[in-house]
Structure formats: C-alpha cells, structure tokens
Amino acid sequence: MPATTAPPHPPQPPHPPHPHKTWFITGTSSGIGRQLTELLLVRGCRVAATARRTETLDDLAAEHGDRLRVLSLDVTDTPAVRRVVDEAFAAFGRIDVVVNNAGYGLFGAAEELTDEQIARQLATNLTGSIQVARAALPHLREQGGGRIVQISSIGGQIAFPLLSLYHATKWGIEGFFESLRQEVAPFGIQTTIVEPGAIRTAFIDRGLDQAAPLEAYEATDLGEFRRSMLAGTAIDPIGDPARLARAVIDSADQDPAPSRLVLGSDAYEMGRTALTQRLADLEAQRGVAYSTDAEDGRG
C-alpha cells in the first residue's frame, strides 16, 4: 500500500480524564491513603474513606462536607468489610475506583514471630484486601464496570530478610490479582497492582510491628541489618507520597488499566534486577524442564 494512503481507521483522540470519579479507599488515616484522599477531594472527587481511627479525618470532613464519607473499618473484620462496602455504594450510588491500601509491615526473622503476629499480618495485608475486593465485585458488576487498585509494594517482586511474612502477603496478593484480573475482565472491571519502592511516610515509626529478637540472630549480618533498618539507615526512602498518589490517581484514567504500576526509581531498579535474574534462572532450567515431559506429550 502506498505510504500516502490514509489508514482505514484513523486513531481516535484519547478520552478526556474524568476528574470527578467516586473513590473508595481503605487505610486513609495516614500515608498513601491520606494523600490520595486529600488530592482527590481537592480535584472535586467524592471519596468514601475508611480508617480504624476516623477522628484522623475530622479536618477533611469539616472542609469537604458531603463529598467525603468517613467510615470506620478494620479490614480484618470480614462482616464489617461487607457492611461498609455496601454502605458506601448505597450512599454514593456508584463507585468508580476501589483502592485497597490498608496494611502494615511485620519485621523479624521467621522463627522470632509469634503466631498472633503472623495471623494478624495475613489477616490485614492479604485476607483483608481479598475480602474488600470480593465485597466490591457484585456492585461493580451491577453498575457495568469499575476499577480496583491494590497498593502492593516492589516487595511483591523482591524480598529482604526479616520481612518474610510481609513479603508473603505482598507476593500472595499479587497472585490473587493476577487471577482476578482475568476473571472480571468480561464485566468491564479492571485491576491495577501498585508497586512502590521506599516512600517518605511513617512506615518505620508507626506502620511496622516488630518481633522480639532472638540472641542467636544478633551476632549475624541479620542483626546488623535489623539495627540499621530500625535506625533508618538501611534504606533511603526517596519516594514522594504526594507524587505517588498523583500517579495512582492518573492511572485510573488509563484505558486499559496498567496491570502493574511501578513507582520510584528504586522500585524500578530493584524490580528489573530481580526479574532479570529470575529469567536467567528460568532459562538455565530449560533442559531439565523439557526432560520431564511424557514421551507422548512432546511436540
């Protein structure tokens, strides 16, 4: 075909962004959840904001009135999750974006952690996120679509020592959303996993549960890593929470939704290194992988 021939279907201009979407966000008392809530309200959006300590949002409620609905929620309480999600959809009529943000870190060697700490970490970061998504799905299907955004971490692609249970929740929730994305696509529901690096929030000070250290670990490299981590010298948080929140908000106008949103140069570099090494490890196993096929199953 001659180069001067016009394409049969010229590209259409992108749809304009919808600045007045309605959002549902968990864990809004501080950090990313608080940043998202503030920025969305400034943009004129409506927000159903959940928190265990609702008084932390009193200032925003006084300023923004009916556009902000503050709801008390502990995501480890599954009946409460269903009740609160139902209440938010009933109040606003439609919710365009559901954000799973509630979560925290658990720090300690695997054998140092108590059973109670492990159960709470899984219930908050993993099961809580799953149940919020499950509670929202019937509403999203009924209204003809929507978006679920899961705040994960680059820790869903890599792993540091002394954070085994935290990483277990992040790797687990990423697997859940990989599957969920395929299940809900026919209903116009899209999902995005957000993978930030280290962010300048109060994660270490207020968002980190710590195990009592065992003496056996203190004389090892892990002991030194623990001390530097708790002192704030092991990781240099370079992520700006306001910029991260803006990127998450902007992603809600992308169609199709990005399946993953990597935020922070540290997240990009660590993720790239880990995935490159994982691919190299996979390629090295090609021979043994093929060798275990049944004779009549080989192409």
The residues that are catalytic are: 152, 166, 170
d(CA 209, CA 103): 11
d(CA 27, CA 29): 6
C-beta separation of 148 from 100 below 8 A: yes
How far lies 155's CA from each of 73, 83, 206, 262, 287, in Å? 25, 31, 19, 11, 30
Beta bridge partners of 101: none
d(CA 100, CA 49): 11
The dihedral through the CA atoms of 275, 280, 286, 292 has a sign that is negative
DSSP code string of 62-119: HHHGGGEEEEE--TT-HHHHHHHHHHHHHHHS--SEEEE----EEES-GGGS-HHHHH
| Per-residue tokens: 263 | 């935020």
Total number of residues shown for the chain: 299
Output Rg (C-alpha) for the chain, integer angstroms.
22
